[in-house]
Chains A and B, each alone.
Chain A
Amino acid sequence: MADTGTLTRADLAEILNRQIGLSRADAAAMIESILDHMTTAVLDGENVKISGFGTFVLRDKGQRIGRNPKTGVEVPITPRRVLTFRASQGMRQKVK
């Protein structure tokens, strides 16, 4: 039956342990390593493109005026860099 709970690092490590035969420690380290490499690339300002999955793209947002939703007071939102994800066509097809 399909599991609709939250998938975590531990679940991913467990799958590598069962399906690849990595030890639990190696599987956990591998998951960490994959995420570390992707995070480092993004923090270095690189886009990360994983075919069949999607692309993590950095976008620079200019300054704009926001509003404190509670008080209605206008406050400037400083220019910032944000990380967005664009899912591949294949992923969109499977998720829809």
Chain B
Amino acid sequence: MIRSELIKKLEAENPELTTEEVEKILDLFFDQIIQRLADGGRVELRGFGAFSTRDRSPRKGRNPRTGAAVDVPSKRVPYFKPGKEVRERLNK
């Protein structure tokens, strides 16, 4: 399922809303999640899962083309942990 398919499903369920409104709702929904992670917080959506961030230590990497060693700085990456319900239902 891609974003446009999700928009179609939501539109079908909410005939009182325009496509633009549904798009704005989805943009807000996903942007808020990103913003909270960017601010250093986490997002918990019971039953679905939780978004948080993980810190990656600096490491020595290599330019795959030249083989030259490069320093890869420490960074923070988004992380998603699926909810218990989803994990269990995937393996039924």
Taking Cβ atoms with an 8 Å cutoff, the residues of A that contact B are 2-9, 11-12, 15-16, 19-20, 22, 30-31, 33-35, 37-39, 41-43, 46-54, 56, 58, 80-85, 87, 90-92, 94-96
Contacts and interface: CB of A to CB of B under 8 A. Distances in A.
Contacts of B79: 85
Contact of A37 (B1, B37, B53): B1
Contacts of A8: 43-45
B69 interface: no
B28 A30 contact: no
A34 B26 contact: yes
Given A4-B39, A7-B32, A43-B90, A16 B45 contact: no
Contact of A96 (B14, B75, B87): B75
Interface of B: 1-3, 6, 9-10, 13-14, 21, 24-26, 28-30, 32-49, 51, 53, 75-80, 82, 86-87, 89-91
A39 B6 CA distance: 12
Contact of A4 (B25, B40, B47, B90): B40
A27 B45 CA distance: 15
B18 to A, nearest CB: 11
Given A38-B1, A52-B30, A54-B78, A80 B36 contact: no
Contacts of B80: 54, 56, 84-85
B84 to A, nearest CB: 12
Given A3-B36, A7-B36, A83-B87, A49 B45 contact: no
